[in-house]
Amino acid sequence: METKIFKAADLPQVIDLLKSGEVVAFPTETVYGLGADALLPAAVKQVFAVKGRPADNPLIVHVSDFEMTKQFVEKYHPLTQQIIKEFWPGPLTLIFELKKGALNPVVTGGLSTAAFRVPDNKITLKLIKEAGFPLVGPSANTSGKPSPTTAEHVYHDLNGKIAGILDDGATQIGVESTVLDLSGDVPTILRPGAVTKEILEDVLGIEVPLDAHLVKETETPKAPGMKYKHYSPDTPVYMVENSDWPAAIDWAKSENLRVGILAGPAISDKFTGLNHFIFENDSIEAATHGLFSGLRALDQREDVDIIFANVFSEIDLGLAYMNRLKKAAGQKYFKK
């Protein structure tokens, strides 16, 4: 299969492909999604096959507006209108209880709930609106590997496996959306993202708990990204606390391991002669934006045996960054 690169002017071709059951990657403000018509089970199964994704892992349904969810959702939490007014379009996914039979079990992982999002990307919103049907949209990468934040990342993983990629440049945020479960009485975060716990609590005026348990391989997750290990490159990744960097570098040298450093300038500038992926600055925003790109860039280098990545405090956006980094590292910290 030839994987074509499409631009905004090519939307009619993309829509025709999706209507015929093909799989096309699309841009969002978070990461690139792997799109198929959510109402065509055969097309959705292709998404799982292309990614090598476990069939019990539910998919996020991308819609053009809140109105599009009404044909699927049984009931809405009382805070739904307040939430969508504040955060849609945007990097917030909402889980609702479904009408019976509204979506095929291949989309929901066999659950009675489904996750919905209105992405904050003009091209993709136009795509969904003009197509007239919702798109499933897991990250457009090989399952378990770092998510793609550029069309080039998608092409690297899926060239020859999908019909096309709708290219809109690099994504703005760099990690997947926050997932908020609204199917129960208490809104609960299942996956942290750019819409943080603190932001939600400030807007809603209530405590919003975080479900931090890691789903085992034998469990069915209620939302994507809840597995113990995820987003992992082939090269081993270790998380490094600020005070442990000199010891980590010395240990790697003693083991004749070629190090790749994933950090901001404050850390990277201290160690010369090594491979680096340097975040634009030392902020958590820059680290979050560059995390997946950095993991991919260092993983593709033949002269890197191990990746050391800088940690951040698990507050605000740092919670989303560390959620991804911990899974990329298989929960492993460097210890003296």
DSSP string over 140-209: SSSTTSPPPSSHHHHHHHHTTTSSEEE---S-SS-SPPEEEE-SSSS-EEEE--SS-HHHHHHHHSS---
Domains of the chain: 4-204 (3.90.870.10), 237-328 (3.40.50.11030)
pLDDT tens by residue, 19-58: 999 999 999 999 999 999 999 999 999 999 999 887 778 9
CA distance 282 to 265: 6
DSSP 7: -
pLDDT confidence band for 144 (50 / 70 / 90): confident
Give the Cα-Cα-Cα angle 325, 239, 317 (nearest 5 degrees). 40
**Mean pLDDT, residues 102-109:** 95
What is the reported pLDDT for 251?
97
pLDDT tens by residue, 149-177: 999 999 999 999 999 999 999 999 999 99
pLDDT confidence band for 82 (50 / 70 / 90): very high
Mean per-residue pLDDT over the chain, rounded: 94
Tell me: pLDDT of 228 over 60.
no
pLDDT tens by residue, 235-250: 999 999 999 999 999 9
